[in-house]
Amino acid sequence: MAPVTDPAPDDTEATVTRLAGAGARRWKAIVLASSGDGKTRRRASDAVRLAGSLVLFLACVVIIRFNPRIEVRIAHLLNSPPNGILWLITLTWILGSLGVIAIAVVSGAVTRNVPLLRDVALSALATWLACVAAGVTLGHTGGRPPTPDLGPIDPGFPNVRIAVTIGVTLTALPYLSRALRRLTLALVWLALASALVVGAGLPLNVLASVAIGMAMANGVHLAFGSPLGLASVASVADALVDLGVGATTVTATPQQVWGVARYRAVPDDGDGGRPLDVSVYGRDAAGRLRRIVANKIRPLLDQAFEPVRKLARQPRKLVFMVGGNAAAQVLTAVALGASLHAFGTHLSLAAIFFTITIASMLGGVSPVPGGMGVVEAGMIAGLIGFGIADDVAVAAVFVQRLFTAYLPPIWGYASIVWLRRREYL
């Protein structure tokens, strides 16, 4: 079998025999990310995230002491699932918390990755101790005043299961493959949503628990470092074979760049084969990649903003466009105000504008077409937060959305057909 060299700190041209374990390496790559030469580094970004997590936790603690009514209303709104799907939500809560912890532990055990198991164990222990310390210092409810109308919602602070899940997940992410990272993150997001629905915690308690887990995970990464995410020489050789480029020898070049592993590969098509320069980018090359992407994207952005510059040179069209959009937003707010008035209540125009703006932002970032369902939920939560009764808020929002979002596409389609027949479009 052709020899392949591994990058070494002192002798980058040292060669090792390529073993017949390519299949095992590919199987291991499904579970774990590339570890390169096995080195780890402490990143400044981990320190920034640690500081941000502590600030988030302190902010949650301060707000919890005021016991905002909007938080309780949102919790009650979320904690009302149909009985028919309650089992599914509970199962999602279990799989997204305990299941994710099991994925991290099993991944480390099956692949015999001692650093992964060590970091996960320390993160889980540190997170549990931090939760115990927070409960002892701040009290069982985190300093929240007595709230008798919580019903089945657990006011406990913090939620140990959520905190440990976040801590273990974020600690294990740098070790896991991209596919497994996406799976675990998806399960965690589902677990957080399910926790609110099953009443496992109030929103601010859940957010504070997430902050504890984030802080402990970043603390472990600062203490022991995390993998570079670069491929090893054997992985590079296997990848070249998968691409149809067999190489007799792969060597690490003497000149290496931060976050980028550079190799020289000699094809196996005889002595006349032209050497190949191979570069493998890891997470530490983010700054370099950002510069490359920026240089390529900037011309595209210039082209995209050229119509905007032309429009700015035509004030009349600019006034029509901005004024028309502003008028549409005012009419949307007036429609919601009229809907509230029809149900015997009212709200200030400023509060309505704020509610619609936040709901529109939530709908814009959601993957649902048109933000359907997300916008309605945001508007209902906003109205309830401003003191509108739950049943009135739900009815008013759906009446407003019926006339502003659901019915307009009907005559909009007829208008498009008419314009196309007369070749205006």
| pLDDT at site 255 | 65
Q: Amino acid letter at 389?
A: A
C-alpha span between 21 and 293 (Å, rounded): 36
| pLDDT at site 13 | 39
C-alpha triplet 80, 150, 373: angle, nearest 5° = 30
- CA dist list (Å): 177 to 14, 42, 121, 236, 371: 28, 20, 19, 16, 31
Average per-residue pLDDT in the chain? Answer: 79
Token pair listed for 233 = 């020489």
| pLDDT at site 413 | 83
Q: Amino acid letter at 215?
A: A
Q: What is the DSSP letter of 403?
A: I
| pLDDT at site 14 | 37
Length of the chain as a residue count: 425
Q: Which of 100, 93, 68 is nearest to 79 (CA)?
A: 93
Q: Model-level pTM?
A: 0.57
* Alpha-carbon dihedral angle through residues 6, 12, 17, 18, given to the nearest 10 degrees: 30
Q: Are 262 and 46 in contact (CB under 8 A)?
A: no
Phi and psi (nearest 5°) for 21? -110, 30
- pLDDT tens per residue across span 260-269: 677 777 776 6
C-alpha triplet 415, 421, 424: angle, nearest 5° = 75
| pLDDT at site 307 | 77
| pLDDT at site 111 | 77
Annotated domain spans of the chain: 3-27+230-281, 40-227, 315-421
| pLDDT at site 337 | 92
| pLDDT at site 377 | 86
C-alpha span between 358 and 378 (Å, rounded): 7
| pLDDT at site 373 | 78
* Alpha-carbon dihedral angle through residues 25, 26, 28, 33, given to the nearest 10 degrees: 100
Residues with pLDDT less than 50, the chain: 1-24, 271, 284
- pLDDT tens per residue across span 10-59: 444 333 334 334 444 555 555 555 555 556 677 778 888 899 999 999 99
| pLDDT at site 278 | 79
State the SS3 of 163-225.
Answer: HHHHHHHHHHHHHECHHHHHHHHHHHHHHHHHHHHCCCCCHHHHHHHHHHHHHHHHHHHHHHC
Q: Which of 38, 357, 89 is nearest to 229 (CA)?
A: 38
C-alpha span between 425 and 422 (Å, rounded): 8
Q: Amino acid letter at 94?
A: I
| pLDDT at site 246 | 65
| pLDDT at site 2 | 42
